[in-house]
Structure 1
Amino acid sequence: MSTSFLDIIQQRQGGGPAAGDEFGGAQGHDGSGLPSAQASNFMFATGIECSYPTIQGGRVRRDQLEECGHYERWRDDLRLVKELGLRFLRYGLPYHRVHLGPGHYDWEFADQAMAELRRLGITPILDLLHFGVPDWLGNFQNPELPVHFAAYVEAVARRYPWVRYYTPVNEIYVTARASGRDGLWNEQLKSEIGFVTALKHATAANILACHAIARVRPDAIIVQSESAEFLHDASTRRRPEIALQNRLRFLAFDLLYSVPPDADICLYMMDNGLTREEYQWFMAGEPPGHQIMGNDYYGRNEKIVKPDGTVCIAEDVLGWSQITRAYYERYRKPVFHTETNVFDPEQAPAWLWKQWMNVLSMRQEGVPVLGFTWYSLIDQIDWDIQLAEQRGTVNACGLYDLNRQPRPVAAAYRELLEHFGQITLMAHGEFFEITDQPARLKVEV
């Protein structure tokens, strides 16, 4: 029998170099190994839960950084991120504590935490408004919010000019719905006008924030985080109110990215307080910065509305990949899986791998998914009831518990990182990497 060329390669080169594939690209690397600093690397992240809405008519602030012990243990928390092997962290400065009034800031905590992030080599995706505003600004019904927030954002960008990644306003749609229509937080309204008002103010704040950041960092990367949701209508008779909700879920991105909503949604907005001039302002063009569309997905984001109107969780009927594909086809933006978790710590490792398979499936179909986040680093408090009441229930969804001890999902994430930590940003994406080139501003606002 003749000698095979594979035998010769094995004898003389110990197997020879890897061929390179969709994960490692033309580097001849399979993509395994903990995340590195290479600009072509996929972005693996976690986040530190930093919500701070008010409840009980504004009398009580639900500050998750405080309730979960981060203000006292921030050094431990940042060290855990580093030790796990992650290079990216969704990190929120406490807006309500830093911005004390027009032109007045308290940077003490922020300076300490940001310096430690920089020392550890962790890249923050800086979250600037997470479900709440300072007391002096009131709530999301305040039309002065966008200009005051933009001034704060520019102050942040100038104080930390080394930061490039930002989420200006987290989950605009959820913010507006919980504050203006569901009556859970902040203004605690239960009206369509309250929802539309909160939505337009939060979106305008996000747009002006992008401009403020771009004045300091023309190469800014905006990772916009929004909830990926869907309602399944389990009825033989089509229910228009469910169809409406499935269209309203796009509204924050429509206004942010200047994608005209359909006629029915335009009429809905104008019936509930959006003026023609405001609509034209939103449609003038998308904001500056390299825009990445972040989609958050929890099993409870997807629901079935049964024939009698009761609701049950639909977890994974469609899943993150199918729901996010609808967003991608609408906006054609690079994608980031910006949040996921599950409250059962024993089920969390399987959920992590299921979400990762969703990411790989999207990439194999040619969708540019650039990053993945397990949210959050540590357990949360009362998110099973969306922070609406102070019950003190620990939601065991973190990589670590509140004593900073690892949960099973921490080992699962480390394993995932060891096998996929150096894959390229995009499948077969050796030509794509994040550079320091400025984004091109399409339109001045």
Structure 2
Amino acid sequence: MSAQHWMNDGSLHFGVGIEDTFVPQERIGQRRLDEYELTQHYEHWREDLALAAESGAEFLRWGIPWFLVEPRPGEFDWRWLDQVVAYTQEIGLRVVVDLMHYGTPLWLENEFLNASYPERIASYARAVAERYKGVWNDFTPLNEPVINAIYCGETATWPPYLSGQDGFVKLMIALTRGMVRTQQEILGVNPDARIVSVDAGFRWEGDETPVPLDILLERRFLSLDLTMGRVDDAHPLHDYLVEHGVTDADFAWFRANAVTPDVVGVNYYPGFTTVEYVDGATVPVEAGTTGLRELLTLYSERYQLPLAVTETSRGGSVESRVEWLGESIAEVDALRAEGMPVVGYTWFPFFTLVDWLWRNDLSTPDDWFVHMGLVDLHRGADRILERRKTEAFSRFQEVTTTRS
């Protein structure tokens, strides 16, 4: 692991992120989900990256569509990615590369459960890190492993469509094995590479939960605990994991191959990171800066590593976004003043996204637009999605300018 990450210079570094969920698998009643396609980022990527630089962002969380870059096993099509990399270098925009944002290539049978998945994703990561060494040096091995395990393993929402706690554990073990092997392979070809882990924060209110609360409270840390080799007989989830098929050999493998990120990233949304279960349904609960402070404190105390807010924003009016921008940065500043090593703040998404539920119906993407960004998308009569800077963009720019 690199001894010094660029974020660890004592400053609070500001970034933005482009929503990059890719679930290319289709089946009856479920369409391919590719946020770059739905938001026309493939056509407007230069404009989007230039806007990110114009906002004053020092870094950009940006994902590679693995299913397009490696269309067949071991065969890579670098043509588009080469252009993106060159342009980010030209405009001086540092990229924290999302190597995996939910979806596997179509050729990988059974997706994350494929026996070769950990080695397949590690091979892809190695190829990326080796090709762009010195330009792209910051990597997230896999975005939000717990969300990934929930959608793919617990609720049967995305492929491979497993369900229940057994499915959750199976997916989590596969994902974290891939994360370990990815970090090992990246550092094998670029020892100066830096790893930024990213997982979703979770908070619960009320007495009703579909899974025992003590398990939920620990499950949010499971990906880091596994990859860092922290799970042993004394771990709070040891018996839960054994019950669902994890063996002593599995635990031993993680301990023998333990890896540590340079920065622990926490994703937090004030309007829906906290939930309450009412009559079996999930109801989002507004938690404001209280939830942000609580989650960052939990991760800081548990891992004693530099932290970054790797996603935060608020849906709704531009005014509400401007308000949250000010409140959340003020809370991060307060935590830093108290000695917490929060080194990064990321507004995510940078522009309008299409709700993932679009995948399940026949509506247009416009019907599922979620305006949470600094830039809003508006479709013109020519069907082109215009990028319109909002007041939130200007306020973000003011913050980054005054702190540079």
Output the TM-score relative to the length of structure 2. 0.88
**Which residue identity lines up with residue 18 of structure 2 in the other structure?**
I
2:74 matched to 1:79? no
The Cα shift of 1:55 comes to 5.9
Q: Matched residues in 1 for 2:361 and 2:332: separation?
A: 34
Q: Matched residues in 2 for 1:102 and 1:239: separation?
A: 39
The Cα shift of 1:374 comes to 0.3
SS of the counterpart of 1:124? strand
**Once structures 1 and 2 are overlaid, which stretch shifts more, 272-281 or 254-263?**
254-263
1:291 to 249, 262, 274: 262
**Which residue identity lines up with residue 285 of structure 2 in the other structure?**
A
1:224 to 197, 201, 207: 197
Verify the 8 A CA contact 1:335 1:371 in the aligned structure 2: yes
2:292 matched to 1:320? yes
- 1:275 maps to which residue? 247
Verify the 8 A CA contact 2:31 2:360 in the aligned structure 1: no
- 1:108 maps to which residue? 79
SS of the counterpart of 2:259? coil
Which deviations, in whole Å up to 9, do the C-alpha atoms of 1:401-432 show, x marking residues without a partner?
2211112211121122233x23xxxxxxxxxx
Verify the 8 A CA contact 1:227 1:295 in the aligned structure 2: yes
Q: Matched residues in 2 for 1:408 and 1:274: separation?
A: 50
1:52 to 19, 22, 25: 22
- 1:207 maps to which residue? 180
Verify the 8 A CA contact 1:293 1:335 in the aligned structure 2: yes
Q: Matched residues in 1 for 2:93 and 2:349: separation?
A: 16
Verify the 8 A CA contact 1:184 1:388 in the aligned structure 2: no
**Once structures 1 and 2 are overlaid, which stretch shifts more, 258-267 or 335-344?**
258-267
Verify the 8 A CA contact 1:381 1:394 in the aligned structure 2: yes
The Cα shift of 1:278 comes to 0.9
**Which residue identity lines up with residue 76 of structure 1 in the other structure?**
E
Q: Matched residues in 2 for 1:120 and 1:398: separation?
A: 21
Q: Matched residues in 2 for 1:179 and 1:239: separation?
A: 17
Shift in alpha-carbon separation, 1:178–1:244, aligned structure 2, 3 A:
same
The Cα shift of 1:386 comes to 8.2
Shift in alpha-carbon separation, 1:98–1:54, aligned structure 2, 3 A:
closer
**Which residue identity lines up with residue 376 of structure 2 in the other structure?**
D
- 2:351 maps to which residue? 378
1:190 to 163, 185, 193: 163
SS of the counterpart of 2:100? coil
SS of the counterpart of 1:149? helix
**Which residue identity lines up with residue 370 of structure 2 in the other structure?**
N
SS of the counterpart of 1:133? coil
SS of the counterpart of 1:178? helix
- 2:12 maps to which residue? 42
The Cα shift of 1:229 comes to 0.7
Aligned residues: 381
2:393 matched to 1:416? no
Superposed counterparts of 1:3-402, under 5 Å: 41-54=11-24, 56-57=26-27, 60-138=31-109, 139-162=111-134, 163-234=136-207, 241-260=212-231, 263-284=235-256, 286-287=258-259, 291-298=262-269, 299-306=271-278, 308-316=279-287, 318-346=290-318, 347-383=320-356, 385=357, 389=361, 391=363, 392=365, 393-402=368-377
Verify the 8 A CA contact 1:233 1:242 in the aligned structure 2: no
SS of the counterpart of 1:283? helix
SS of the counterpart of 1:245? helix
Shift in alpha-carbon separation, 1:294–1:387, aligned structure 2, 3 A:
farther
The Cα shift of 1:365 comes to 2.0
> Structure 2: which 5+ runs fail to align?
1-5, 378-385
Q: Matched residues in 2 for 1:224 and 1:231: separation?
A: 23
The Cα shift of 1:232 comes to 1.8
- 1:433 maps to which residue? none
Shift in alpha-carbon separation, 1:206–1:68, aligned structure 2, 3 A:
same
Larger RCO: Structure 1 or Structure 2 (Cα < 8 Å, ≥ 6 residues apart)?
1
The Cα shift of 1:283 comes to 2.2
Shift in alpha-carbon separation, 1:405–1:91, aligned structure 2, 3 A:
same
Verify the 8 A CA contact 1:382 1:390 in the aligned structure 2: no
The Cα shift of 1:37 comes to 11
Shift in alpha-carbon separation, 1:106–1:315, aligned structure 2, 3 A:
same
The Cα shift of 1:157 comes to 0.8
Verify the 8 A CA contact 1:179 1:189 in the aligned structure 2: yes
The Cα shift of 1:239 comes to 8.7
Q: Matched residues in 1 for 2:297 and 2:212: separation?
A: 23
Shift in alpha-carbon separation, 1:371–1:263, aligned structure 2, 3 A:
closer
The Cα shift of 1:227 comes to 0.3
Verify the 8 A CA contact 1:233 1:239 in the aligned structure 2: no
Q: Matched residues in 1 for 2:210 and 2:94: separation?
A: 45
Output the TM-score relative to the length of structure 1. 0.80
Verify the 8 A CA contact 2:7 2:13 in the aligned structure 1: no
SS of the counterpart of 1:246? helix
Shift in alpha-carbon separation, 1:39–1:332, aligned structure 2, 3 A:
closer
> What stretches of structure 1 move > 6 A for 4+ residues in a row?
none
**Which residue identity lines up with residue 166 of structure 2 in the other structure?**
I
Q: Matched residues in 2 for 1:264 and 1:113: separation?
A: 44
The Cα shift of 1:208 comes to 0.8
> Structure 1: which 5+ runs fail to align?
1-35, 423-445
Verify the 8 A CA contact 1:259 1:331 in the aligned structure 2: no
Q: Matched residues in 1 for 2:121 and 2:104: separation?
A: 9
**Once structures 1 and 2 are overlaid, which stretch shifts more, 386-395 or 272-281?**
386-395
Which structure has the bigger radius of gyration? 1
